[in-house]
Structure 1
Amino acid sequence: MLPTPAKQFLMQTQYISHTIWKRIKHSGTFHVNGVPVNAAQTVIRGGDCITYDIVRESAITPEDIPLSICYEDPYLLIANKPAGQLVHPTTKESTGTLGNAVLAHFAAHGEHHAYHPVHRLDRATSGLVLIAKVPQVQDKLTARKNGKKLFHREYLAIVSGGISPSTGTIDAPIARALPSIILRKVAAEGKSAITHYETQRAGKNHALLRLALETGRTHQIRVHLAHLGHPILGDSLYGGAMNEIKRQALHAYRLHFTHPMTNELIDIIAPIPSDMKQVLSSPDF
């Protein structure tokens, strides 16, 4: 390879963002062939060995709690989160989260990574969460091409009634339902939100839907389905019936994307959880 400035080399080969480059440049850990150098003034040549450390001290405490891993490689981890678990600790709830479990898993395997969830799930939503092990992979996956994210999520939901038409697209902007800081609503002044749906099973009083997100607004699926008059079962916040399941019957069952480092197609499916299976085996289906 031709001699290349370190910044250019890392951005082109390791997908380093400008923000991460600044962290590397000021970290004092940049070495070439074992020798500490000034990253901003360094030129990389073929055969050089580059090392640096940009892992920040995490405020999340590793905790040895159950963790269901569906996929893992040196760059990514995909976990199947149970309903009732937070994705990330909060000031009021700092333990028992997916983040605590993932950091304990890293530590148990001698890996030193921060916690970089690429997206979130509500506490009561079960299913797949994509976690980057290094920030440049998180940056790559959260980037957009032609306005769309580079990874694709699909969900299963059990709703009241049967939607007509059985397959379609919900294109309705979503805004905060003030003065609440939690509730969202469909409103003209909101941000663009697009959800695609397809009926998988139609029962007497309920339907099982498969849904794909084109955008990722807070509570998007829950708000869109409630707006159509078909709230998700168990979703008390948006009018879902609570008699058959005690949490929203929403499961992030599939993630598929092109791996940002290997270009491999990753396609992971998490089986539908037992509480939703129980509803599907009821007389309503």
Structure 2
Amino acid sequence: MKLQVTEEIELMVFLLSKLTHHSRTNIKSLLRDGQIHVDGRSVTQFNHRLAAGQTVEISPKKSVKPAQRPTKGIRILFEDAYLIIVEKEAGLLSIATDKGDEPTAYRMLSEHVKTQDPKNKIFIVHRLDRDTSGVMVFAKSEDIKNKLQSTWGPDTKERTYIALVEGKPNPPQGTIRSYLQESKATIVYSSKNPERGQLAITHYETLQSNAHFSLLKVELETGRKNQIRVHMQDLGHSVVGDKKYGSSQNPLHRLGLHAWVLGLTHPVTNNYLRYESKIPAKFLGVFGK
């Protein structure tokens, strides 16, 4: 991230005015870690005087080398001072429910960051259903979590899923648009009335089909709870294994939904991050591959 200086000003005051999602403590950490450069030179003093015409650059902290998975069910794809992007296996909860004390992605990553510093914390940005596998992102501070969530649409350039569904959609590609709301029984359903739910837009494209199933590329324009599952039911081609939303077949013995690609703009460095998770072999196995 490069910032242009237009007037004489103290570095800390300048950074606080530009990095609105950062606290004074966050900015002091950037200075301490040598991530602030003025005209290409690292500066660590918060009271350094800037002159008009200078360029302030925030460089990413050297990424932590992706570690072995903290435990079974999760693998770190990217980690720096602000984010962790992981690949979650099907069967693992994103975050704990009120019903038990089983392992979760959140708990594993919380323990992971505390091995680096006991004061470290982790914040969940979005969730994947227990039986949905694939890529998800966590924040290392509440400021970064809020920044990511507030720009989840504009700055998240790619949210692409693979869905194995029953039957063969006709037309083979299209867009589903509705307003989603949740019942007291935690069932999400569609409405055409904008006053009765949140707008949800899903784009789909058939990649391959046989007599019984279709493999779809699904792109989210919005990110609502159970959005893909509800929209596939609306399409008349439920996600396999999704009994809650109309499926009668379960060839995978799990939900046929995989978070394939996540691409987003880093909230601090403005670098584009894109991570892709391999399509599970089981998904392709129903087509004899």
Query: What is the TM-score normalised by the length of structure 1?
Result: 0.76
Deviations 1:13-40 (A, max 9, x none): 3623xxx68xx7xxxxx99x99xxxxxx
2:193 aligned with 1:186, yes or no?
Answer: no
Q: 1:107 aligns with which of 111, 114, 134?
A: 114
- How far apart are residue 266 of structure 1 and its match? 0.8
Residues 217 and 65 of structure 1, relative CA distance in 2, 3 Å threshold: same
The Cα of 1:143 is off from its aligned counterpart by 1.6
Once residues 284 and 177 of structure 2 are traced to their aligned partners in structure 1, the CA distance between those partners, rounded to angstroms, is 29
Distance 1:192 1:94, change over 3 A: same
> Does structure 1 conserve the Cα–Cα contact (< 8 Å) formed by 2:252 and 2:283?
yes
Alignment pair present for 1:230 and 2:234 = no
Name the residue aligned to 2:136: 129
Q: Which residue of 1 aligns with 2:61?
A: none
Where does structure 1 lack aligned partners over 5 or more consecutive residues? 25-29, 35-43, 48-62
Which digits, 9 at most, give the CA deviation of each residue in 1:106-158, with x for residues without a partner? 1334474212121111111111111111222222211238xx34213110001
Between the aligned partners of 1:280 and 1:140, the Cα distance in structure 2 is 41
1:259 aligns with 2:261: no
For 1:150, the equivalent position in structure 2 comes to 155
Bigger CA drift: 227-236 or 67-76?
A: 67-76
Taking a change above 3 Å as real, the CA distance of residues 11 and 116 of structure 1, as seen in their structure-2 partners, is farther
Structure 1 pair 270–222 and aligned structure 2 pair: CA distance change class (3 A): same
The equivalent residue for 1:163 is 169
Cα deviation for residue 93 of structure 1 reads: 2.4
Percent identity at matched positions? Answer: 32
Give deviations 1:66-111, integer Å, cap 9, x for gaps.
Answer: 2311122221111111111111122322331001111222133447
The separation in 2 between residues aligned to 1:143 and 1:95, in whole angstroms, is: 30
CA deviation after TM superposition for structure 1 residue 168, in Å = 1.2
Q: 1:208 aligns with which of 198, 202, 215?
A: 215
* d(CA) in 1 for partners of 2:127, 2:230: 16
C-alpha distance 73-203 of structure 1, shift in aligned 2 (>3 A): same
Show CA shifts across 1:185-209 (max 9, x none). 1112222110011111122221110
Q: Distance in 2 between matches of 1:234 and 1:121?
A: 16
Contact 1:81–1:98, Cα closer than 8 Å, also in 2: yes
Does the aligned pair in 2 maintain the 1:174–1:186 contact within 8 Å? yes
Question: Residue in 2 aligned with 1:56?
Answer: none
Match of 1:46 in 2: 48
Unaligned runs of 5+ in 2: 1-7, 33-45, 50-68
Question: How far did residue 276 of structure 1 move?
Answer: 2.4
Equivalent position to 2:94, from 81, 87, 93: 87
1:198 matched residue in structure 2: 205
Residue matched to 1:50: none
> Which letter does structure 2 place at the counterpart of 1:185?
Y
Name the amino acid aligned to 2:47. Answer: R
Q: Secondary structure at the match of 1:192?
A: strand
CA RMSD between the two structures: 3.0
Please say which of residues 161-170 and 102-111 is displaced more in the overlay. Answer: 102-111
| Offset of residue 241 of structure 1 | 2.6
Please state how far the C-alpha of 1:254 moved relative to its aligned partner. Answer: 0.5
Instruction: Determine if contact 1:196/1:212 at 8 Å carries over to the other structure.
Output: yes
- 1:32-43 map, 5 Å: none
